[in-house]
Chains A and B, each alone.
Chain A
Amino acid sequence: MAIIEVANVRKDFMIAKRETGMMGALKSLIKREYVKKEAVKDISFSINEGEIVGYIGPNGAGKSTTIKMLTGILVPSSGNVFVNGLVPYENRQENAKSIGVVFGQRSQLWWDLPTIESFDLLKEIYQVSNQRYKKNMDTFTEILGLDEFLNTPVRQLSLGQRMRADIAASLLHDPPILFLDEPTIGLDVVAKEKMRTFIKEINQERKITVILTTHDMEDIERLCERMILIDHGMKVYDGEIAMIKERFGKTRTLVVDLEESTRSLQLLGGEVWKEEGNRYWIKFNRDEVSASQLIAQITKTHSVKDLTVEEPAIESIISRIYQEGYQPLKA
């Protein structure tokens, strides 16, 4: 069942045109000209209960605008949005009860107070019963290790700790839907890993639907099965990540370490695109030649110390789609 429905949504902003120079500044003081900016042009998708969907796009693609429309912060210029059966901007307060929101760049906690106080206040704001509060706090403390900093003021927390506190805070009222706007931004590898494990866990155990925007493709690969890719306010791709990898990910890289360096490594079906000392990176298309065929060719003339085959990172696939556009396959 679809828990989120977005149909032909469009959002325009009127932006004041800025003139250059002193005269221009004076002119715009008196008479302002506005330029229409189409942040979201025409986006439709529907998300089922229990999915984790990666909502991806370059800066300024319209990701945050979409999230803001789903949370009821913004009213769409046209089109329909339904979240958990409600129109968010018409029933903003009711909608707020069924969503959790984490903005990675901005904390929603009380900056100057010990972390535990933010939880207490959110308990009051969301009218969480004592029983539910205690149960949730126990769970989050255990998984996220909140107890090490519950009495520290939020402003003194490390970024990793703050993000853990923020995500716990957003789930205190057991929302069926969670919006995560760049939840791993600025975190170190260990903290990122903890965050991903937690998101995966709450999705599986509590069946929470998660929409995630991120620039870290590893988040996507680790967490999501489905990805919605947008660019310039339009949907570019919506589907399984495995599928996009299948289609764009035919290029593989074979990395070999040879015993001694060689001047020419001529291979049938493969192309050396980088070399560093005795290490060579060989690009090949797996439909044309298999890795074992390539390896056989190399070992015929050289002795190989070590080798690996690299799959393309989703990141490079996506940057290719941004540049070339995505043409849907013809059936």
Chain B
Amino acid sequence: MAAIKYVNLYFKLVSAGVRAQMQYRFAFIMRIVGLITAYTGTAVTMWVMLYQFQVLGSWNFFEMLFLYAIAILSWGFCVILFLHFRSLDTYILNGTFDRFLVRPINPFFHFMAMKFDMASFGQFIFSLLIFIWVSLELHIEWSSGKVLFLLASIIGGILIQGGMLVLISAIAFWTTKSQQFYWVVMYPARNLTNYPLVIYPKIVQWIAAFVVPFGFVNYFPAAVILEKGTPFFPASIGYFSPLVGLVFFIIAYCVWMLGLSRYKSTGS
């Protein structure tokens, strides 16, 4: 099937997923409200902490909020596209995953297109508002180069976090259970990115740069835009964000497909 057909099919499948979600209007609205409450909660916690310290590792309150805004901006998109990978194990466990394998399209694509979390658009708008407010406060001069870089690194961030969700879901092909790993890996990794990496021990910073590359989601690109130093790392490391995202996602996809071929030989 040609690529254009796949794009067309993606939109058809996704719009079906959205309409399915809209069937449960109350749950839909509550999800938006819940997400915004949770994020505001985190922002308030950050503010309270900074009220005590004034600065955290040379990052002031608005700079940290900027960091936070980039993180939830890309996470918001990532949730819309990939969050349902978290429940892959449930599909495998109750046998509904098989239906993706009896159809003439790529199962990764099919699974990805099955859901599209509209409620997360609320979160997206929320993070956009914070982002605008913070960049006004910080008097960032937005040249077209900077805007392009920001967009590219947000895409990088989506791919890194999405890749992580895909990787975690792939564990289900081996163990049939994977949701715990979400809480063990994804949750701490995301919490890590709420604060500038510089405040963590060196080993943690290294892991966040080269193992679980969440440093590239917001810390490194934000440092480039705000022209702040990144101790232990070259100042221009942030420019690699989009590339890191792409490579990480491709690796995740390959692992997922490897898991699928294992599933096909074990069937459990």
Q: Which A residues form the contact surface with B (CB < 8 A)?
A: 13-14, 65, 68, 71-75, 77, 89, 92-94, 96-97, 99, 101, 103, 105-106, 108, 110-113, 117, 120-121, 124-127, 153
Contact = CB atoms under 8 A, between A and B. Distances in A.
B9 A125 contact: yes
Contacts of A97: 104
B84 to A, nearest CB: 14
A74 B266 CA distance: 7
Given A71-B101, A96-B102, A125-B104, A65 B9 contact: no
Contact of B20 (A72, A110, A120, A124): A110
Contacts of B96: 106
Contacts, number: 80
Contacts of B102: 71-73, 96, 99, 101, 108
Given A106-B95, A110-B16, A113-B20, A72 B101 contact: yes
B20 A68 contact: no
B99 A117 contact: no
B268 interface: yes
Contact of A93 (B13, B98, B105, B266): B105
Nearest to A173: B104
Contacts of B5: 127
Given A14-B266, A112-B24, A120-B12, 17 more contacts: A13-B266, A72-B101, A73-B101, A73-B264, A73-B267, A74-B265, A75-B265, A92-B101, A96-B103, A97-B104, A112-B20, A113-B23, A117-B19, A124-B13, A125-B104, A126-B104, A127-B104
26 contacts: A13-B266, A14-B266, A68-B98, A68-B267, A71-B102, A75-B261, A75-B264, A75-B265, A96-B102, A96-B104, A99-B102, A101-B102, A103-B95, A106-B95, A106-B99, A111-B20, A112-B24, A113-B16, A113-B19, A117-B16, A121-B13, A121-B16, A125-B9, A125-B104, A126-B103, A127-B5
**Contact count band on B:** 20 to 34
Interface in B1-45: 1, 5, 8-9, 12-13, 16, 19-21, 23-24
B172 to A, nearest CB: 15
Nearest to B96: A106
Nearest to B267: A74
B258 to A, nearest CB: 14
Contacts of A117: 16, 19
A270 B91 CA distance: 56
A105 B102 CA distance: 16
A153 B20 CA distance: 10
Contact of A74 (B16, B21, B23, B264): B264
Interface string B79-109: 0000000000000001110110111111000
Contact of A103 (B19, B98, B265): B98
A13 B23 contact: no
Contacts of A125: 9, 103-105, 110
A110 B110 CA distance: 13
Among B9, B96, B103, B266, chain A packs the most CB atoms within 10 A around the CB of B103
Contact of A13 (B1, B95, B261, B268): B268
Contacts of A68: 98, 267
A77 B95 CA distance: 21
Contacts of B8: 124
A89 B264 contact: yes
Contacts of B267: 13, 65, 68, 73-74
Contacts of B265: 74-75, 77
5 smallest A-B Cβ distances: which pairs?
A: A112-B20, A96-B104, A101-B102, A93-B104, A108-B99
Contacts of B264: 73-75, 89
